[in-house]
Chain A
Amino acid sequence: MTWYLIRRAGQSIAVIIGVMILTFILLHLEPGSAARSVLGLRATPARVAIFDSLYGLNKPLYQQFLIYVKQVFQGNLGISYQGLQPVSTLIAERLPRDAILLGMSTLLALLIGVPTGIYQALRHNRLADDVLAGTWFTLYSAPDFMEALLLIALVCVQLHLLPAAFPGGVASVAGLFADWPALVLPVVVLSINSVAGFSQYVRSTALQTLAEDYIRVARSKGMAERLVLTRHVLRNSLLPVITILGLALPDIVAGAVIAEAVFNFPGMGLLFWQSALAHDFPVMLGGTLIIGAATVLGNLAADVAYSVLDPRIRYGNR
């Protein structure tokens, strides 16, 4: 296992460097000039030249890349062209907010999706299964912005029960919870699609598990149904969920741009979107680096969790 982890860590570093190189090249192939984007329509050639010189954009691409890599290894992700703030500060401000928003929505989806999936498996091909499956697929197929707007129209505009958008002035993570009513709708909207995914994966695996010989043996030995479900069915049904959760980590880091836009939630998704529009290379590079790291980390965590949940799975044996 140790050797496996070392090998995966080495692979991860290689992947991240590859992501950096690819992103750097792609960003610089993008048509248009960062200087013009930042300085606006009235940018004179002289001002563009000053800007390019200030940020090293007048250097050859390979030199820019080497400078960037050196900065990264020194823990410096650069300065945002637009906000004139360190990229690490921008990310550090927004990442915890997204971690809370998307973490809570994922947790809510798990709390609903896993029991529902097992329940559907137990009621396989009966009315309850069909109704729940139909409900989840309907919600899954609806775009999340539409769900968000419908909920806002009903809950906020018509009933005045919750705020329609996140209030400004949230300086800290604690501030998010101080305005908890504003968190409710975005958490609910973001969890809707995940519930469908979780419940259907769990349902499918639970059906396979319920058909296994050891389940029949356990039941024939008189094991309580509650124990059968929690010890055998639930544990085995969680394996696909682990994969989904592992893949969800980069999503959490990347934010949820649509929900953030609709609910006025200044998270990572909007930061990247606005940076992409504004040719703000340092923010896009920093963001891509963090997302790349989260991707490899999420996969690694999923692999490790597999071996914990399923003793049959062992890594490192050739």
Chain B
Amino acid sequence: MRIRHSLATTVTALALATAVAACGGTTAKVGSGSAVKGTPERGGTVTVAEPSGASPDDIFPLPPSSNTNGYNENLTIGEWPYLVNIGVGGNSEVNQQESLYSSLTWSDNDSVITIVLKPWKWSDGTPITARDFTFVYNLLKANYNDWEAYDPGLFPTDVTKVTTPNLHTVVIDLNRSYNPSFYVDDVLTFVPLLPQHAWDKTSLTGTVGNYDETTAGARAVWNFLQKQGSNIGTFTTNPMWQVVDGPWTLSQFLNDGYYVWTPNKNYSGPAKPALSKVIFTPFTTDAAEMDTLRSGTSLTVGLLPLNDVGQIRALEHEGYSVAAVPTAGVAEIVPNLYNPVNGPLLRQLYIRQAMEYLINRKQILSDAFHGYGDPGNGPVPVNYGQQWDSPLEKAGGPYPYSPGKAEALLKAHGWTVTPNGTDTCQQPGTGASDCGAGVAAGQKLQFQLLYASGSAYFDQQNAAIQTSEALAGIHIVLKAEPFNTLVATTATCNAASHSGSVCNWQLQQFGYQPYEPDPNGSGIFNTDAVSNYGGYSSPEMDQLVNQTEYGSSASEFYAYEDYAAEQLPWLWLPDPSLPVVYKSNLAGVVPSSPFDFLLNPEAWYYVKPAA
């Protein structure tokens, strides 16, 4: 599971979330957006607000492992889209019309993929061919450890052979059978095509060759492209970056993250841009963005900061519409199962169960998000689509709010429960009615919850959790710090890599874990996964996660989903939707899936209001 950062899906963007506002006793309801009516017009400029800190700094579409700035994808996806395009209207599904392939078939027990590329062209008129895919594959095969999006064991290391039987066909032999849905949705959505005829070189003045066909050559090309890609001053002047296959070209870029897209006049795809220019302009703070929106002049599209949801009516007065788009991910509190003090407590399933029983998710969803968001019943968002939600999750998950059940669980395991106080372990030991392994007599049920400061949403939600946990004597101490400080002082912790200095955290709540279109637990809940921050490890979970990658039956997915929901590697929380503000005469912004939200201005156009 990689981390995507669209304009909407940064972890800290939760601070921008919610969809309804109360203002002076009036409430403005926000839907998911409907079609803007009127006569479509060609041309016009759209100015999109970039959230604070969302400045790209690398233009090469395969960023190195040392650069985790997810906003680079926002910059490059319009020029070099991925092989598989996700998002059809508001649905998170493959958009075959916009994808770079005309057919993608699986054979040999789902271990061979045959991809036929569309006969599209690069912006310089050169046809897009299978060679462009092998160029990408060769670069990644030789440099996968330095590719930011590399997930161990997956593309390209799971590929045994790539052949190109003709100009537009690629055959990929994999080292095992896969679930096609998983592979297409979660793996091929990270693989773009790159112009071999323009980029296969090792210096700016050197000639283009087939350097990528040897490991040494591929490394040299990779190093050259990485160096060029990080040179901000040449993003618009380096001729390499002008060879694109997406609907946009980059025409201006400034160091502070301001950039301008203009249409690729030779774009082969069906959705040719109607706008003549799209400007992405950075804002230092959400407040500055909000003030600009409210002055009603220079911004066309932006995200609505949470603290300003009361301004919806005023924004509508300024000619804006507001709509909510669900986030693609799961919101959570991560327990550090290997905290030196409280790890033994958090490793007890019954304690995690009691804590989950005490999170009043419905109340948080209702009060903090005014009903707009995912209820957080388990590891898969309910709003993700019917096909992903098991009956258990649809029914509200295994742990609906119940202080009584939480109290009973704790008492049954040897705890003296002190509502609004702090529980203590009275019966240490490993028996069925004891506190559990590693829990000492008299140990208190008290945890510190770290979360990112500066967000009213986080404050409100976590205060509610603190209050409800106290009903069964679980004492939560809240500690808010700037997001960057939290990231710098905490780390993924597990039994093997425990490090005291960065593993002293007990519970952390940083936002949400972004998902790919196939919302399985790969890379998150399997042992030692890169996003398994709290060190959860279970052979059964590993097996179930693997089954979702390798098998394609709904029952296998549900088995994983229900097991994760019940085992609580993380405590589940509601996940708010993201509100977008856009000029009312701009069509195409919504409805939108979370995967192309604000990233597909080729679908946007101004309309002249009907007379």
Q: What residues of chain A have their CB less than 8 Å away from a CB belonging to chain B?
A: 31-34, 36-45, 47, 50-51, 54, 82-85, 89-90, 93, 149, 152, 156-157, 160, 163-165, 167-171, 260-266, 270, 274, 277-279
Contact = CB atoms under 8 A, between A and B. Distances in A.
B495 to A, nearest CB: 14
B533 interface: yes
Interface stretch (B65-73, B89-97, B129-137, B366-374): B65-73
Given A41-B487, A45-B497, A163-B297, A265 B291 contact: no
Nearest to A175: B254
5 closest cross-chain pairs (CB), A and B: A32-B488, A168-B281, A37-B488, A164-B291, A168-B258
The SS class assigned to the B binding surface is: loop
16 contacts: A32-B489, A36-B491, A39-B68, A40-B68, A43-B491, A50-B65, A149-B287, A157-B295, A160-B295, A164-B288, A168-B258, A169-B254, A261-B285, A261-B287, A262-B287, A263-B288
The SS class assigned to the A binding surface is: loop
B255 A89 contact: yes
A83 B57 contact: yes
Contacts of A171: 254
Interface string B1-23: 00100000001000000000000
Nearest to A156: B295
Contacts of A266: 256, 282, 284
A262 B295 contact: no
Interface of B: 3, 11, 53, 55, 57-58, 65-68, 230, 232, 252, 254-258, 260, 279, 281-285, 287-289, 291-292, 294-298, 314, 482-485, 487-492, 497, 502, 510, 530-531, 533
Nearest to B146: A50
B285 A38 contact: no
B484 A277 contact: yes
A27 to B, nearest CB: 12
B258 A169 contact: yes
A160 B283 CA distance: 20
Contacts of A169: 252, 254, 258, 260, 279, 281
B510 A33 contact: no
A36 B53 contact: no
B363 to A, nearest CB: 28
B487 A36 contact: yes
A174 B490 CA distance: 44
Given A41-B492, A41-B531, A167 B298 contact: yes
B68 A38 contact: yes
A274 B533 CA distance: 25
Contacts of A85: 57, 232, 255
Contacts of A44: 492, 530
Contact of B484 (A42, A93, A168, A279): A279
Nearest to A43: B491
Nearest to A167: B298
B23 to A, nearest CB: 14
A33 B502 contact: yes
Contacts of B485: 32, 37, 277
B66 A42 contact: no
Contacts of B298: 163, 167
A168 B55 CA distance: 12
A263 B482 CA distance: 21
B283 A165 contact: yes
A265 B284 contact: yes
Contact of A50 (B66, B68, B255, B483): B66
Given A41-B492, A263-B288, A278-B484, A164 B295 contact: yes
A270 B284 contact: yes
Contact of A42 (B230, B252, B492): B492
A42 B254 contact: no
Given A42-B492, A157-B314, A164-B292, 13 more contacts: A31-B488, A31-B489, A32-B489, A37-B488, A40-B3, A54-B66, A84-B58, A84-B67, A168-B256, A260-B284, A261-B285, A261-B287, A277-B482
B255 A36 contact: no
A279 B482 CA distance: 12
A277 B297 CA distance: 32
A163 B510 contact: no
A27 B288 CA distance: 30
A156 B291 CA distance: 8
A292 B53 CA distance: 27
Contacts of B255: 83, 85, 89-90, 93
Contact of B296 (A32, A50, A152, A160): A160
A318 B67 CA distance: 59
A85 B281 CA distance: 19
B101 to A, nearest CB: 29
Contacts of A260: 284
Contacts of A263: 288
A189 B252 CA distance: 32
Given A160-B297, A163-B298, A264 B283 contact: yes
A29 B58 CA distance: 31
Nearest to A166: B288
Contacts of B260: 169
B484 A37 contact: yes
B491 A157 contact: no
Contacts of B488: 31-34, 36-37, 278-279
A40 B492 CA distance: 10
B487 A40 contact: yes
Contact of A262 (B285, B484, B490, B533): B285
Contacts of B490: 36, 41
Given A31-B489, A32-B488, A89-B255, A167 B502 contact: no
B285 A264 contact: yes
A38 B291 CA distance: 30
A160 B298 CA distance: 12
Nearest to A267: B284
B596 to A, nearest CB: 23
A167 to B, nearest CB: 6
B284 A261 contact: yes
A83 to B, nearest CB: 6
Given A40-B68, A40-B487, A41-B533, A163 B296 contact: no
Contacts of B57: 82-85
